Amino acid sequence: MERGFFITLEGTDGVGKTTQIGLLKEFLEDKGYTVYVTREPGGTPISEKLREILLDKSNSEMTDVTEMMIYAASRAQLVAERIEPALRQGEIVICDRFVDSSVAYQGYGRGLGDRVRSVNAYATNGLEPDVTFFLDLNPKEGRARIGKEVQDRLEQEKLDFFYRVYDGYLDLCQKYPERMVRIDASRSIEEIQKNMRDVLSERMKGLQ
Ligand code: TYD
């Protein structure tokens, strides 16, 4: 059976990835594809435990390197246990965040730089998405959408952290113009979804 297709969604906090993923799943299933949706950090029992450690507000002593390695560990498990097997079965995998999140948040946001990429290449066994949607929204607007109540450890960061992350994503879009598709996320849910569906229809030609 042919290898499947791997889609990831990226962006700073509060850009509305989850809503868009639900709609994309519907669109692709209507076309007859089997779609596996997952999220990072998480997606397997081990990875969900690692997620709790990462997002726990009381873990204020966590070093930047520890944080980066736990994200990578969670990802290694998800790739081996779920993503690779699904792709081998010819399924479409949609992942809410992937390596680009670590490069943007830990590499640019925390300042760990290029090491993030090499650690993650090892963790993922070199797996890369076929297409990555970067939902582009000014970090200030994203924060306003999240609201105060739902803040986890990462969301507590100051706005300048999110601007570094955001700049990291813009750099990634320049570096990987083929893979990364920038989507203006300040528009309506319907407009954003249409934009993504058009891109996929174009890129997935010949997959069926
Ligand atoms: P989550 O609640 O899933 O946020 P969102 O809905 O915005 O995706 O929390 C994930 C948080 O972890 C988010 O603030 C981004 C951050 N993160 C990293 O810093 N590095 C990573 O590699 C990943 C996957 C996420």
Render pLDDT for 116-145 as a digit per residue (tens, 0 to 9): 999 999 999 999 999 999 999 988 888 788
Of 207 and 127, more confident: 127
207 has pLDDT over 70: no
Residue 162 — very low, low, confident or very high, per pLDDT cuts 50/70/90?
Answer: very high
Atom of ligand 1 nearest to the CA of 14: 7
127: tokens are 């797996």
Atom of ligand 1 nearest to the CA of 54: 12
Half-sphere exposure of residue 82, counting CA atoms within 13 Å on the CB side? 22
Mean per-residue pLDDT, 170-195: 97
Long-range contacts of 60-67 (CB under 8 A, 24+ apart): 60/153, 62/153, 64/106, 64/110, 64/111, 64/112, 65/112, 67/106, 67/110
Helix (H, G, I), strand (E, B) or coil at 131: strand
Render pLDDT for 44-71 as a digit per residue (tens, 0 to 9): 999 999 999 999 999 999 999 999 999 9
The residue whose CA has the least distance to atom 11 of ligand 1 is 154
C-alpha of residue 188 to centroid of ligand 1, in Å: 23
Contacting residues for 61 by C-beta, under 8 A, at least 6 apart: none
**Cβ atoms of residues 159 and 139 within 8 Å:** yes
Average pLDDT, whole number, for the chain?
Answer: 94
The residue whose CA has the least distance to atom 2 of ligand 1 is 152
Atom of ligand 1 nearest to the CA of 98: 24
Eight-class DSSP state of 91:
-
- pTM score, whole prediction: 0.94
Q: What is the pLDDT of residue 153?
A: 75
C-alpha of residue 40 to centroid of ligand 1, in Å: 7
Q: What is the pLDDT of residue 203?
A: 93
Which residues have C-beta atoms less than 6 Å from ligand 1?
13, 40-41, 71, 96-97, 101-102, 105-106, 154-155
- Angstrom distance (rounded) from CA 33 to CA 44: 22
C-alpha of residue 154 to centroid of ligand 1, in Å: 7
What percent of the chain clears pLDDT 70, i.e. is strictly above it?
A: 96
* Spatial CA neighbour of 35 closest among 80, 82, 75, 74: 82
98: tokens are 């992937």
181 has pLDDT over 70: yes
C-alpha of residue 14 to centroid of ligand 1, in Å: 10
> Taking the mean position of all CA atoms in its chain, how far away is CA 148?
23
Pocket test for ligand 1, best of 154, 156, 161, 164 (most atoms within 8 A of CB): 154
Q: What is the pLDDT of residue 152?
A: 76
Q: What are phi and psi of 36, to 5 degrees?
A: -110, 120
Q: What is the pLDDT of residue 149?
A: 59
Count other Cβ atoms within 10 Å, centred on residue 208: 8
Q: What is the pLDDT of residue 198?
A: 97
Q: What is the pLDDT of residue 148?
A: 62
Pocket test for ligand 1, best of 101, 133, 137 (most atoms within 8 A of CB): 101
C-alpha of residue 145 to centroid of ligand 1, in Å: 15
Identity of the residue numbered 83: I
CA distances from residue 78 to 13, 28, 45, 141, 179 in whole angstroms, order as listed: 21, 22, 9, 31, 21
